[in-house]
Amino acid sequence: MMLKDKKKINELVINAKNGDSMAFATLMNNYKDGLYFFIIKMVGDRVAAEDILMETFYKAFTNLSLYSFDYAFSTWLYTIAKNNTIDYIRNCKKNVLHNCKKDFINDDASSFLNDIAEDKKHEPDNIVIRQEEKEAVRDYVSMLKPHYRILVEKFYFEDKKYEEIAEELNLPLGTVKGKLHRARKMINKFIGQNNI
């Protein structure tokens, strides 16, 4: 049963600050479920959520001396969890964009964008990661000029063939292929400018 008595919680915090590991263990047990669900809502991955939760408790324990009773202990704990989760998401996005950079250099039909355009190829556990990848790529696609952007969206996100795009937009087939090639190079340049 979760402790809600502020006085009792503060007592446990004081004891934990004085080196009582049992007091800290009680605090961990009190908040672990709520923190876990808070984290998993943000990352959508059980293993990552468990790792972030453990990191949160580790940081809380090693920084207990910095905790001020001006704020609720739960607020302090959830702030640590939120910051850890944001760091995790940033690192994931950075890795995703680093992979984008490598794949955009390679002008291959089976490239990164082709993969993310077809979520059906991926296992359910990878769907969240692939969605992050799509969002990361879309950020850069949105920076393209409209005549490039529409081609990239149709080819990679709507999964249309070169011929279909050429017919739909009334463009020569060679123009479609050439512009898609240049669009990949531009996106690679955007990624490089951000030192990803």
> Residue 8 corresponds to which tokens in the numbers above?
């009792």
Specify the pLDDT at position 48.
84
> In which element (H, E) is residue 80 found?
helix 73-105
Residue 41 belongs to a domain with what CATH number?
1.10.1740.10
| 173 contacts: CB under 8 Å, gap ≥ 6 | 162, 163, 166
> Residue 83 corresponds to which tokens in the numbers above?
């910051």
Cα–Cα separations (whole angstroms), residue 118 to 30, 49, 89, 150, 177? 42, 26, 23, 18, 20
In a domain, 100, yes or no: no
**pLDDT tens-place string over residues 50-102:** 888 998 988 888 888 888 888 888 889 999 999 888 888 777 766 554 554 44
Q: Which of 34, 66, 91 is the last residue of a domain?
A: 91
**pLDDT tens-place string over residues 90-134:** 777 665 545 544 444 444 333 444 544 444 444 444 444 445 555
In a domain, 118, yes or no: yes
In a domain, 145, yes or no: yes
Residues 52 and 122 in one domain: no
Query: In the structure, what pLDDT confidence band is assigned to residue 184 with cuts at 50, 70 and 90?
Result: confident
Question: Domain range holding 37?
Answer: 6-91
Q: Which of 46, 61, 91 is the last residue of a domain?
A: 91
Instruction: Specify the number of domains making up the chain.
Output: 2
Q: Which of 91, 117, 136 is the last residue of a domain?
A: 91
Residues 56 and 120 in one domain: no
**How far apart are the C-alpha atoms of 2 and 46, rounded to whole Å?**
22
